[in-house]
Amino acid sequence: MTQAHRGTALITGASSGIGAIYAQRLAQRGHNLVLSSDVEKMTQLIELNVTALTRLTYAVVPGFVARGQGDIINIGSIVGMAPEILNGVYGGSKAFVYAFSQSLHHELASQGVRIQVVLPGATATDFWAIGGLALEHLDPNIVMSAEQMVDAALLGFDRGELVTIPSLHDEQEWQAYEAARQVMSGHLSNKLVAPRYTTGV
């Protein structure tokens, strides 16, 4: 039975020891959690997911373009589209991976460079233990094995997908999301202020 929401708990030092146990117990009781993470670890996360990804991409792309051929597979996350699910810095960094990959595809597809961005859901890896949440505390119905995730992602790559979401069963949901995004993108810049911002409260 799903627990009713019982408020938000702010926990410092939740990555290990007593803080981690408090986080687990309060989550089981139905609390949302705010886990005050180490800012140095968050900086390292950005360095890995944003800076390193960007540097590696710009290191290989000129050679791909010169040859007129090359493949780039970036590993994002569903939290890149739904950042409220996990830590804000992690979600933000994965949103960068998603947006960066879309931009690369736009710039490089005509030059023979293929881009794929994979958006896994919860996957059985060490990620959870490192973050202070034991894998066994997750609903097993949402956790995919790493082997299944990679095999599905490679099949998506073979099919020429730009965005691959191995855990999303209804492909029409993605198609509707992307279609709505494309429609809205044509309306996001205008010399006129939207009428709702030209009147009082």
What are the extents of the domains in the chain? Answer: 1-36, 38-187
- In which residue are the tokens 């947006």 written? 99
Most confident of the ranges 9-23, 82-96, 148-162: 148-162
pTM above 0.95, yes or no: no
Mean pLDDT of 168-178: 96
pLDDT for the residue numbered 32: 79
pLDDT for the residue numbered 116: 97
pLDDT for the residue numbered 144: 86
pLDDT for the residue numbered 201: 66
CA distance 84 to 94: 12
DSSP annotation string for 57-115: HHHHHHHHHHHT-EEEEEE--GGGT-GGGS-HHHHHHHHHHHHHHHHHHHHHGGGTEEE
pLDDT for the residue numbered 84: 84
**Helix (H), strand (E) at residue 32:** strand 32-36
pLDDT for the residue numbered 1: 38
CA distance 59 to 17: 41
Mean pLDDT of 1-8: 56
pLDDT for the residue numbered 72: 96
pLDDT at 3 over 70: no
Domain 38-187 in this protein, CATH class: alpha beta
How far is CA 167 from each of CA 143, 145, 170, 177, rounded to the nearest angstrom?
9, 11, 9, 16
pLDDT for the residue numbered 132: 55
The tens digit of pLDDT for each residue in 61-109 reads: 999 999 999 999 999 999 999 988 877 888 999 999 999 999 999 999 9
